Amino acid sequence: MPKFGPPHGIAHDRPSIGKDSSLEQKSMFENRDLIKLSSSFGGIKLDSDSGLTRFNRRWIVWGLNQDKNKQWDDRLQPIICVDDADSFQSVCEYFRDFQESTNRCDHYFFKEDIYPSWDDPSNVNGGRWLDRSKNFLDTWMRLMIALAGEHFGSEFMELICGAALIVKRAKNVIALWIRPTVSDTIKIEIGSAFKKILQLSDCDRIVYEKHPYCNPSRNLSTVLMIYGLNIEQFNCSKIFNLLCMYGDCLRVKFLTPGSNTCMVEMRSAADTLSVIDHLTGLWLYGKEIQFVSSHREFTRLQSTRRTFALPDGSPAFMDFSQYPHLFRFQSPKCVSNNNLALPSKRLYFCQAPKNATTAQIMRIFEEYAGVVPHRVIFFDSGRNKERSSNSSGIIIFDSIDEAIEGLLMCNHVPFANKRQYDMLKLSFALDDEENHNEDNIKSSS
């Protein structure tokens, strides 16, 4: 059941490098050098049992596949999680092989809860310091060591998101990504620290760039990025059930195993805006969910060969365009029938069978969601009652958490009869719908 409250840390499984996580190649550092290197990290604690030096926070090394026939997010893959000197040694091994390889690609070294994309809430409206370095690998290793060892200082480390190694034919680029700051002075001080850590001379020039997402006048995309999801609690169907009442949700795709991020293709940019307007700041399962329009223009989300299963066994990609009867915004008439409302403890239901009962509806919520509504109110259709083939009304819960859980689990649940489209179609209710036509309401509690 979703709970409102402060966000919790995000746990990641540690991906292995290559087919065998036990690296057999010779390390870039000898053991004594690694211990010496590790002891230079500021603020880290020594694990007395294993003797491994642990870092204050976890970092993820990401690699960008060179197959440009794929979408950018499909190309970006996590390589290894770094949280101690032992895992950092594996990173050294990896980049030693990378230096000797002719098949090079871009890499990212980011805090574990930040996705290395401009769309991530931590990066939105931020920027990056750029160095076009010749000795890129030595400089890159020096920067990763400084980040893992918190060498920028606690104040600056909270503003730093991660680093990027962009491989170019003419010259390579190393970038330090930072959050938006209220002070240009702090931004310049971070740049000075960045230059010092890279051991650049006074003649070497670094450049600051704002992320392109900062342009407020740009058009919204039909692709919506969702951040902060609890992967143990969510799947594609739940995402659809939540978003479908604000716009037509065509496809849903979780990016990587263990990720807290998914992409959603909406039918139009107006649908994207509607979701952002109504759901921004929503808390689910102890986390604040962020809804951001993608800065990349996609025509269609597609499944890939590497599609994986979510923890509940369901697929990480689902195409809902094959279920047109579930869409609520396909025509002007359909749009006019929708009342868009913010999340509340009241759900509006429709398309239930004409003879549906309170007991049936309560049983559905108890069976599928493990929550029991406080009250079910049926709307009386008056003179059209005999001709109406469906029933509608309001379902009231004791809390917003229970209402959201009920909507995620029970939206579009079919009734046990032979009519194909008899289902519990749910959305959040407007404030005045509970008191709609008081004289024509029959209720049961």
How confident is the model over 113-132, as pLDDT tens digits? Answer: 899 988 788 887 788 998 87
341 is a domain residue: no
Q: Would you say 204 and 134 are in contact if contact means Cβ atoms under 8 Å apart?
A: no
Per-residue pLDDT of 152-179, as tens digits, reads 988 899 999 999 998 766 567 899 999 9
* Coil/strand/helix, residue 435: coil
Average pLDDT over residues 89-102: 77
Are 143 and 66 members of one domain?
yes
Residues 129 and 68 in one domain: yes
Mean pLDDT value of segment 84-111: 81
pLDDT at 107: 92
Whether residue 322 sits in one domain with residue 398: no
pLDDT surpasses 80 at 21: no
pLDDT at position 170 is 54
Residue 277 lies in a domain: yes
16 within a domain of the structure (yes/no)? no
Q: Would you state the pLDDT for residue 14?
A: 28
Would you place residue 40 in the very low, low, confident or very high pLDDT band (cuts 50, 70, 90)?
A: very low
Q: Are residues 138 and 234 located together in one domain of the fold? A: no
Q: Answer whether residue 91 shows pLDDT above 80.
A: yes
In a domain, 24, yes or no: no
Are 128 and 193 in a shared domain?
Answer: yes
Comparison of pLDDT for 443 and 301, the residue scoring more: 301
- Is 297 found in the same domain as 198? no
Statement to judge: residues 227 and 209 lie in one domain: no
Are residues 190 and 42 both part of a single domain?
Answer: yes
C-alpha span between 106 and 64 (Å, rounded): 5
d(CA 385, CA 355): 11
By three-state DSSP, how is residue 340 classified?
coil
Query: What is the CB neighbour count within 10 angstroms for residue 394?
Result: 22
Task: Provide the CA 396 distance to its chain's centre, in angstroms.
Answer: 30
How many domains does the chain fold into? Answer: 3
Q: Does 238 reside within a domain?
A: yes
Task: Tell me what pLDDT residue 415 has.
Answer: 87
CA distances from 440 to 269, 356, 359, 377, 395 (A): 39, 17, 20, 11, 16
- Same domain for 195 and 256, yes or no, is no
**Are residues 357 and 294 part of one domain?**
no
Tokens 């076009």 correspond to: 132
Determine the average pLDDT of the residues in 90-99.
80
Burial 81-91 (b: 16+ CB within 10 A, else e): bbbbbbbbbbb
**In angstroms, rounded to a whole number, what is the distance separating the alpha carbons of residues 154 and 143?**
16
Report the DSSP beta bridge partners of residue 423: 414
Residue 299 structural domain: 223-336
pLDDT over 90 at 193, yes or no: yes
Query: Which of 58, 172, 181, 55 shows the shortest CA–CA distance to 128?
Result: 181
The stretch 284-294 carries a mean pLDDT of 85
pLDDT of 281 above 60: yes
Q: pTM for this one?
A: 0.54
Is 103 within a domain?
yes
Residue 18 domain-assigned (yes or no): no
Same domain? For 186 and 76 the reply is yes
Say whether both 207 and 247 belong to one domain.
no
pLDDT band at 277, cuts 50/70/90? confident
Single out the residue in 185, 214, 243 at which a domain terminates.
214
| CB 215 within 8 Å of CB 291 | no
- If 0-12 CB within 10 Å is exposed, 13-18 middle and 19+ buried, where does residue 60 land? buried
pLDDT at 139 over 60: yes
